[in-house]
Amino acid sequence: MKVVLDHLTKRFPNRNKKGDDVIAVSDFTFEIPDGKLIGLLGPSGCGKSTTLNLICGLEPPTEGRIFFGDDDVTRLPPENRGVGLVFQNYALYPHLTVRENILFPLQNLKGKNKLPKAEMEERALAVAKLVQIEGLMERKPSEMSGGQQQRVAIARALVKMPKVLLLDEPLSNLDARLRLQTREEIRRIQKETGITTIFVTHDQDEAMSISDMIVVMKDGVVQQIGKPQDVYDNPVNLFVATFLGTPPINVFDGEIKGGMLYLGDQAVLPEPGIGDQQVIVGIRPEGFILDERGPFEVKLNRVEVMGRDTSVVSTHPASRNAQIRSIISARNKVDPGAETVRFSLIPDKTLVFSVEDGNEALWRETAAGDRNTP
């Protein structure tokens, strides 16, 4: 089922009565393609949960409309929208078994939607198998791990065969290993069922790893929508660039002079096509090449060998961060006793942003034309 958000806005009166309204979601327009998994991503308070609440009908929008397929569902109550919901806290009924928890939404169906008992049992077992908890059907929630409980919550959301599945930070209560495993599971389940799914998280790694497309939000405003790799490679502004990537992008104050990019007094890269100006520069950790004759010289702090990779931690007067982190292959040996290290920079990994409000990306020209037109 395709989901269309058409100029959705949600304003809340300020909690301390005197202040301005809070614009939780501002003019959000997006056509979510059928059968895809969309990662809705952004820091706490940026409007992710409000967006989900608008889509499922728990909150009415202040402005704008929502369509499921061709149907305008903006005024439809949540129970008639055919959405499945999963939250951070699994919200299972503690006194019911897994089986009873999964059956619960079916037992509440009324009138013509009512199902025969045998069919309810059949469906409950089918979704339990899908999330691989069919062996735990007679347990109570307290007798299961967090990961298992979250699977039950997902099964319960799926048992009514929703047209749209909405997941609000579903992995936040799980420990690191379970988080990894469960996100792969969610991806598998989503692919197997083909349900259009919106997955909300503040964890960029999580969103990047399982989403067909990501939507990055800040202060209620959509910053960028695209395939995870495209957004990572070509962020539209400094906020998106810093929000995506672990370790994070290294940020510098720089200057463009006569077609060259300067960090301090070092001319580090040619920048054809960007006029002379002060800029902000982001260099991805993987954007550094160890190079004795490289133009970018940093003061070495320490070298951390992490198996496959070596992390070079350094400082530079133009850096906005206390430390610069460069990831290079562990085959490259860096003398940990050296005072300084020299790098050359990979152009695709060196991003230039305006110092003006919004810090928009400045695109350099390449032989093939513009590097990217977002």
Contact set with ligand ADP (CB under 6 A): 12, 15, 22, 24, 42, 44-50
User: Six-digit token pair at 155?
Assistant: 């099964």
Encode burial over 227-248: b for 16+ CB neighbours within 10 A, e otherwise: ebeebbbbbbbbbbbbbbbeeb
Q: Which residue is nearest to Mg ion (CB)?
A: 49
Extended strands (E) in 33-89: 37-41, 63-68, 71-72, 83-86
Burial of 256 (0-12, 13-18, 19+ CB in 10 A): buried
Partner that binds at residue 163, options Mg ion, ligand ADP, none, CB closer than 5 to 8 Å by kind:
none
Binding segment toward Mg ion, per CB under 5 A, in 48-56, 69-77, 84-92, 235-243:
48-56
Nearest-5° Cα angle at 7, 6 to 11: 130
Binding segment toward Mg ion, per CB under 5 A, in 18-26, 45-53, 123-131, 227-235:
45-53
Burial of 19 (0-12, 13-18, 19+ CB in 10 A): exposed
Closer to ligand ADP by CB, 48 or 151: give it: 48
Closer to ligand ADP by CB, 42 or 285: give it: 42
Partner that binds at residue 45, options Mg ion, ligand ADP, none, CB closer than 5 to 8 Å by kind:
ligand ADP
Q: How far is the CB of 21 from ligand ADP (least distance, A)?
A: 9
Q: Which position among 49, 51, 196, 234 is part of the footprint of Mg ion (CB under 5 A)? A: 49
Closer to Mg ion by CB, 58 or 267: give it: 58
Strand 288-290 and strand 277-283: the pairing is unpaired
Which residues from 136-155 bind Mg ion, rule CB under 5 A? none
# binding residues, Mg ion (CB under 5 A): 1
Burial of 369 (0-12, 13-18, 19+ CB in 10 A): exposed
Closer to ligand ADP by CB, 44 or 80: give it: 44
User: Six-digit token pair at 283?
Assistant: 């260099």
Strand 277-283 and strand 309-315: the pairing is unpaired
50 binds Mg ion (CB under 5 A): no
319 binds Mg ion (CB under 5 A): no
Q: How far is the CB of 169 from Mg ion (least distance, A)?
A: 6
Closer to Mg ion by CB, 201 or 266: give it: 201
Partner that binds at residue 24, options Mg ion, ligand ADP, none, CB closer than 5 to 8 Å by kind:
ligand ADP
In angstroms, rounded to a whole number, what is the distance separating the alpha carbons of residues 78 and 54? 10
Closer to ligand ADP by CB, 46 or 130: give it: 46
Closer to Mg ion by CB, 49 or 196: give it: 49
Q: How far is the CB of 44 from Mg ion (least distance, A)?
A: 7
In angstroms, rounded to a whole number, what is the distance separating the alpha carbons of residues 152 and 284? 39
Partner that binds at residue 269, options Mg ion, ligand ADP, none, CB closer than 5 to 8 Å by kind:
none
**Comparing C-alpha atoms, which of 330, 329, 26, 48 is closest to residue 199?**
48
Contacts with Mg ion by CB under 5 A lie at: 49
